[in-house]
Amino acid sequence: MPYRLHHVRIDAGEHRQPAFLALNPHGRIPVLTDDETGVTLFESAAILLYLAEKTGRLLPREPAARWEAIKWLQFHAASVGPIIGQRVHFELFAKEKIPAAIERFRNLTNSVFAVLDSRLAQHPYLAGADYSIADIAQFGWMHIARIINFDFSQHPHLSAWHARVAQRPAVRKGITLPEPATGA
């Protein structure tokens, strides 16, 4: 689908400006605006569901497979994202290091890695046989985990899935989108 990417400079506070808050009152990214339909969405899972519905792609139509994809998309939104996000905060960015919080989120992260690994031991993708929006959502956090050295190499099925998904042309493009030029 054609799209226009708009970088939001969080370090410059652009996510707290009235124009951005009109799109997402929580002031977080991502946000999707569809000029064709007039729909504006925030939250990755909602955006992925919308795009899958609009295009008829990446979300199975058959009910059992469809709900597998939605279930694993919700696991991303309700568990994996918040857990890894908290680990990133407490381990890397918190001004005060709280050992109990760091240990808690390390353990929870390892637990979600194990759950994903177990699922991927049985299926090539989270929803089953085919790549779906559940894999797209999950890959974002696994990519971040790899970049910041949250090791999941002891989970061979998760690691193999990550390598497989990382080789997809659209994924490679998505993780290499350039930053806008200074002053853009």
Identify the structural domains of the chain with CATH numbers, from first to last: 10-42 (3.40.30.10), 63-170 (1.20.1050.10)
Helix ranges (DSSP H) in the chain: 18-23, 44-55, 63-75, 81-88, 99-122, 133-147, 156-166, 169-175
Whether the pLDDT of residue 184 is over 70: the answer is no
How much is the average pLDDT of 71-77?
Answer: 98
Q: What is the pLDDT of residue 177?
A: 75
Q: Which among 178, 168, 122, 108 has a CA at the least distance from the CA of 143?
A: 168
At residue 166, φ and ψ (nearest 5 deg) are -60, -20
Which residues are bridge partners to 41 per DSSP? 32
- Residue 125: Cβ within 10 Å count: 20
Q: What is the pTM assigned to this prediction?
A: 0.92
Task: Estimate the crossing angle of helix 99-122 against helix 81-88, to 10 degrees.
Answer: 140
More confident residue, 180 or 34: 34
Secondary structure element (H or E) that encloses residue 42, with its range: strand 39-42
Residue positions counted in the chain: 184
- Show the CA angle centred on residue 101, arms to residues 145 and 117, nearest 5°: 35
User: In this structure, what token pair is assigned to residue 17?
Assistant: 């400006």
Preceding omega of 60 cis (within 30 degrees of 0): no
| pLDDT above 90: percentage of residues in the chain | 91
Q: How confident is the model at residue 183 (pLDDT cuts 50, 70, 90)?
A: very low
- Show the tokens assigned to 23: 């799109």
Residue 78 contacts residue 138 (beta carbons within 8 Å)? no
> Quick one: pLDDT band at residue 1, thresholds 50, 70, 90?
confident
What's the rounded mean pLDDT across residues 57-75? 97
pLDDT of 182 reads 56
Average pLDDT of the chain is 95
Q: How far is Cα 89 from Cα 168, in angstroms, rounded to an integer? A: 29
- Pairwise pLDDT comparison (93 vs 183), residue with the higher score: 93
Q: Which of 109, 112, 117 is nearest to 90 (CA)?
A: 109
Amino acid residing at 33: T
Give the H or E element holding residue 40: strand 39-42
Q: pLDDT (tens digit, 9 = 90+) per residue, 19-59?
A: 999 999 999 999 999 999 999 999 999 999 999 999 999 99
pLDDT digits 0-9 by tens, 115-153? 999 999 999 999 999 999 999 999 999 999 999 999 999
